[in-house]
Structure 1
Amino acid sequence: MTMKPLINLGKNGLTPTFVSGVADAIESRELIKISLLQASEETPKTVGAYLSQEIPGLEVAQTIGRTVLVYKQANDRDNRRISNEIAKL
């Protein structure tokens, strides 16, 4: 996957601000990559589970190393590029 991480998680951890940023980004893009920096004490599994709990409909698509790829269908039909492609399959 050539997508670059859109959001980095550092030493501040899983804060409401972090969750809000992920929610905003996922609404406009549907699929985002989150990179866990070395300063982060969280694991990719913990981050994925926490985000899935905090953002209804969010799914962890993949984890590789310290990177988490998450997906959620956009509420706004204009932002549904990926989900429209998936529906065609």
Structure 2
Amino acid sequence: MELRGKQKRFLRAQAHSLRPMFSVGKEGLTENWLNQLSGALDKRELIKVNILQNADVTTKQVQQFIEDNTNIQVVQVIGHVLVLFMVSHDESMRRLSETVSAI
């Protein structure tokens, strides 16, 4: 699902009160980290990722790595925080994506 402007605005509003669940540190980006990220998004559909100051990667590199290797969409980038969205594979967990698709 490609997100339109109103859908992104809705997701940004939903993510406002969330705290970052994942961090990118000095270990950088790995397949294991990406698999854990996909698993968490499959349950929640919307999360934040924090890029720590000691990380060897930039925000753009993290965004590019996520978008190239998965079907996860970056909704917003604020400083060192990324807001990520993915439609859940489990239909019982699709509460947020159903609302987004109706917008």
Query: What's the TM-score, normalizing by structure 1?
Result: 0.92
Residue identity matched to 1:83: S
Name the structure 1 match of 2:67: 52
The count of corresponding residues between Structure 1 and Structure 2 is: 88
Name the structure 2 match of 1:30: 45
2: CA distance, partners of 1:83 / 1:38: 32
2: CA distance, partners of 1:70 / 1:7: 11
Consecutive unaligned residues of structure 2, counting only runs of 5 or more, are: 1-15
User: 1:59 offset after TM fit, Å?
Assistant: 0.8
User: 1:88 offset after TM fit, Å?
Assistant: 2.7
Name the structure 2 match of 1:7: 22
Query: What's the TM-score, normalizing by structure 2?
Result: 0.81
**1:29-60 deviations in whole A, cap 9, x for unaligned?**
111100001111211111111011111x2111
Consecutive unaligned residues of structure 1, counting only runs of 5 or more, are: none
Moved more, 58-67 or 43-52: 43-52
Identity within the alignment, %: 28
User: 1:17 offset after TM fit, Å?
Assistant: 1.4
1: CA distance, partners of 2:23 / 2:82: 10
1:45-84 → structure 2 map (5 Å cutoff)? 45-55=60-70, 57-84=71-98
| RMSD value, Cα | 1.0
Residue identity matched to 1:10: G
2: CA distance, partners of 1:87 / 1:71: 13
> Whose helix proportion is higher, 1 or 2?
2
1: CA distance, partners of 2:17 / 2:59: 19
